[in-house]
Amino acid sequence: MRVLREDGSGYELDDDEIVFFTTHNNVISVHTRTERYIVPTTLDQLSKAYQDLSFDKVDRSYSVRMDRIAGYHAVRKAVYFEEETTENTKYAPVSEPNMKKVLKHLEEKKDQP
């Protein structure tokens, strides 16, 4: 995926690095575990284009890679993507209508060998 760094320079991001997409003030951000990039498209277009990589909307402004979710933080009502104890843990909020889908996914993931 061709993305923009925050300084405006272009960068070719490997699809495997992507953890989630967000939208804020009509700006679409692509998040990896450590970086954030900008991409000129819509959240719906990204979600559809990356559906095969298990991306799904968990909130009106967040589309996450479901297979990268490490857990759910009940107090924050958000998913996280790596061990929760790390300083750089990234969270994505989960809306009430999507809670059941996320918790079911985590339960199924836990049951897999």
Identify the three-state secondary structure at position 47: helix
pTM: 0.85
pLDDT in tens, 10-27: 999 999 999 999 999 989
pLDDT at 2 over 90: yes
pLDDT in tens, 85-107: 667 788 999 999 999 999 999 99
Which whole number is the average pLDDT over 29-48?
Answer: 90
Asked if 72 and 91 count as a contact pair (C-beta separation under 8 A), the reply is no
Strand runs labelled E in 13-52: 20-24, 27-31, 36-39
